[in-house]
Structure 1
Amino acid sequence: MGWYSPKKGLLLGSLFLLLSLAGCLKSAPEPVELRGRAMGTSYKILYLPTAETPEESEVQGMVALTLSQVEQKMSTYLKDSELSKLNQAVKPGVYPVSKETYRVLSEALTLGLESGGALDITVMPLVDLWGFGPTEQKGIPPEDQIQEALAKTGLDKLALDPKGGQIQKKTSNLTLDLSSIAKGYGVDQVSDLLKNLEIKNHMVEIGGEIRVLGERPGGGAWRIGIEEPVPEGGVNRVVELSDQSMATSGDYRNFFSEGGKNYSHTIDPHTGRPVIHDLTSVSVIHSSCMTADGWATALMVLGEKKGFQLAEKKGLAAYFIYRDKDSLKTRGTAAFNQLLNPEAGE
């Protein structure tokens, strides 16, 4: 799970595969591909440069700086990050936060309320207890420890100043984990950077969370594969995206087994335990990768039935892959089907 362990450290959100570009590129310039590591995982950027685009090395440096700034604010693995320092403040009270962290906290709380608490950024005590945090000591904890950790969580224990710039911890020992949403925010930040550099055709992927702008090399929408949630991989569905983001949450990459049973990294904030249902993967398409990231986690917590109902109610473009006995079945919301096949709605 790397940096953002509760959801995606071992490429947990990385359920996408950029499909091979078909055919030959029709015109210069050649696309530029950047690769690197950040936020505990790998990233890949593909873009079409123009005459005004900075040198490749300069773009790479700006990308690295952008992601480093996100880490320095929101990582739970860096002890000196803004979020880690905030978690180290154990007493109730009002604490200042940067505008960037406030923005992500605000979106997380909004999605938490809209999902009925399925997305809960206060679950860090439970994430650590089950071994999906920085300690990574996985195992089934005693019941009394689960209840003790559960008592420390809850969105009602956190408030944001509507004027911005500060938050209120209403109880002691309240700790926050933005791993369910901050990686998507990082994708958005890099995409915005490229856009500001007048790189209007690009794809940004960090640990599987993706945002695309404009057209792919060779022309046309970007073709992205949603991965088959099985050990051997493969592509389950191809989607064509332009000026959109897609994020996925799944249960089949980051888990531990004990007593013949698998325990997923996705913690249900209501029970304090890993989720138990048939949903194995859910992908959400949205203009904001941060928002798609948060919703993917929330729907994964809720499961195939409740998650699908909520996604339909909220008008989300979501794609569910779930187990049905010994096979996998899929289901897309009306918004997802309309997005990928607009003629069907006419």
Structure 2
Amino acid sequence: MLSSKNLEHLNSVKTYPLFLFFFLVQVYNTYAQVPRKWSFTQSKMGSPFSIITYSNDSAKVERSISRAYLLVDSLNSVYSDYDLRSELSVLSQRGESPKVSNALWDILEKSQYAFSKSNGTFDISIGPLVKLWRKARKLKQLPSDTAIRNAQQRVGFKFIKMNPTTHEVKLLRNNMQLDLGGIAKGYIAQKVVNFLKNEGLVSSLVDAGGDLAMGQAPPSKKAWSVGVNIPSSEELLPRYLFLQNAAVATSGDMYQYVEIDGKHYSHIVNPKTGLGLTHQRNVTVIAPDGATADWLATACSVLPVKKALKLCDSFPNTGLLIAEKKGKMILKWQNSYFEKMME
């Protein structure tokens, strides 16, 4: 017969492993619920196109990321000015289209709005000048005044006629060339983030060659942390941006510039002069979506500092940092929203 003392001992022996079992199950379930980080990079649009997302469903991630990159390819086949078969290139070659695709119409509308808001400093009809400047950079020789004037005659959004009812587009000057280089990467990055959200991958970040778009913050974090380069350097500023459901774009001449006759010229062309910018400036823009961040970064590279700050302040939840190198000095300007997003 078992004594009460033995029964107490047996009960304690039986109960302890059961408690331990449930404790281990609870810990495992808690750990299993923490989404895993996934990172992917493919070469798209001439630069690395990276996606970070969080999920414990590997099958969903594999399927969704594969479809996301197919989306990038499909949009690039519409927007590329390098691919002569793209819808954009065909429009430039033919000078008209009775009905452009919804994808092209949407970005053309956004570009028209950007042209108006930026006082013409962002202009997708700048293609003839960009082509001329690419040649000048390659030869390290300035284009002639005559060549610039001839190219400028084919530049101006007023020469793009858009019918909002039929989505018909006509280019009113011969040999116009549309260039979406200042908006397409940010636009596509945002489209991918939106697609991943619809797939249930709400905590995702997309880096389209330096144009960032992001969804909700990573699990267990308050925000995505984004580093900003010091002008003319690969080093980062000591303070980071902390963002979610936002986009960041940078523009500047840190890597893409040329010196001609001892003068520093950026790869970014000023539509009014037809030449690359001569001030050494890095611009970082925070905006609610990738397309807006992208075109604002381009426009604020061209605009005088005060007008650039005023432009960004006219948009909600939009931040601007301008860093300009003058001799050995680096001057900085930023608006209050940019400061608010830094820690």
Task: Pick the TM interval, shorter chain.
Answer: 0.7 to 0.9
How far apart, in 1, do the equivalents of 2:92 and 2:60 lie? 39
Q: Is the 8 A contact 1:31 1:217 kept in 2?
A: no
Shift of residue 207 of structure 1? 0.5
One of 30, 34, 53 as aligned partner of 1:28 = 34
Gaps of 5+ in 1: 1-24, 342-346
1:272 matches 2:277: no
Shift of residue 105 of structure 1? 0.8
Range that drifts further, 290-299 or 224-233: 224-233
The corresponding residue for 2:313 is 312
How far apart, in 2, do the equivalents of 1:164 and 1:46 lie? 38
Q: Is the 8 A contact 1:130 1:139 kept in 2?
A: no
The aligned runs of 1:209-224 (5 Å cut-off) are: 209-224=211-226
1:62 matches 2:67: yes
Shift of residue 34 of structure 1? 0.9
One of 208, 229, 232 as aligned partner of 2:231 = 229
Shift of residue 251 of structure 1? 1.7
How far apart, in 2, do the equivalents of 1:303 and 1:252 lie? 19
How far apart, in 2, do the equivalents of 1:158 and 1:293 lie? 21
TM-score for both structures, normalised by structure 1 = 0.83
Range that drifts further, 217-226 or 193-202: 217-226
Q: Report how many aligned residue pairs link the two structures.
A: 312
Q: Is the 8 A contact 2:33 2:56 kept in 1?
A: no
1:119 matches 2:119: no
Shift of residue 235 of structure 1? 3.3
- Look up the SS of the partner of 2:92 in the other structure: helix
The corresponding residue for 1:176 is 178
The corresponding residue for 2:294 is 293
The corresponding residue for 1:15 is none
The corresponding residue for 2:152 is 150
Shift of residue 189 of structure 1? 1.3
Deviations 1:139-187 (A, max 9, x none): 3111110111111101111122122522121222221001100101110
How far apart, in 2, do the equivalents of 1:237 and 1:303 lie? 25
Cα 1:257/1:216, change in 2 over 3 Å: same
1:322 matches 2:324: yes
Shift of residue 96 of structure 1? 2.3
How far apart, in 2, do the equivalents of 1:186 and 1:136 lie? 28
Cα 1:288/1:132, change in 2 over 3 Å: farther
- Look up the SS of the partner of 1:131 in the other structure: helix
Matching residue's letter, 2:169? I
Matching residue's letter, 2:302? V
TM-score for both structures, normalised by structure 2 = 0.84
- Look up the SS of the partner of 2:78 in the other structure: helix
Q: Is the 8 A contact 2:263 2:278 kept in 1?
A: no
Shift of residue 231 of structure 1? 3.8
Cα 1:57/1:313, change in 2 over 3 Å: closer
One of 80, 84, 89 as aligned partner of 2:85 = 80
Q: Is the 8 A contact 1:131 1:139 kept in 2?
A: no
Shift of residue 243 of structure 1? 0.8
Over aligned residue pairs, what C-alpha RMSD do you find? 2.3
1:89 matches 2:91: no
- Look up the SS of the partner of 1:270 in the other structure: coil
Q: Is the 8 A contact 2:34 2:219 kept in 1?
A: no
Deviations 1:299-337 (A, max 9, x none): 111142332233334554211112244121322113323
* Structure with the higher fraction of residues in helix conformation: 2
Deviations 1:99-142 (A, max 9, x none): 11111011011011111000011111110101179x96553111
The aligned runs of 1:243-254 (5 Å cut-off) are: 243-254=245-256
- Look up the SS of the partner of 2:36 in the other structure: coil
How far apart, in 1, do the equivalents of 2:100 and 2:207 lie? 27
1:107 matches 2:103: no
How far apart, in 2, do the equivalents of 1:209 and 1:103 lie? 19
Matching residue's letter, 2:263? K
How far apart, in 2, do the equivalents of 1:201 and 1:66 lie? 19
- Look up the SS of the partner of 1:123 in the other structure: helix
Q: Is the 8 A contact 1:221 1:242 kept in 2?
A: yes
Q: Is the 8 A contact 1:27 1:218 kept in 2?
A: no
Shift of residue 57 of structure 1? 3.4
- Look up the SS of the partner of 1:329 in the other structure: strand
* Higher gyration radius (CA): 2
How far apart, in 2, do the equivalents of 1:275 and 1:121 lie? 17
Deviations 1:273-315 (A, max 9, x none): 112335x111111111011101110111114233223333455
Cα 1:81/1:321, change in 2 over 3 Å: same
1:45 matches 2:51: yes
Cα 1:151/1:184, change in 2 over 3 Å: same
- Look up the SS of the partner of 1:66 in the other structure: helix
How far apart, in 2, do the equivalents of 1:263 and 1:95 lie? 39
How far apart, in 1, do the equivalents of 2:246 and 2:166 lie? 28
Q: Identity percentage over the alignment?
A: 27
Matching residue's letter, 1:302? L
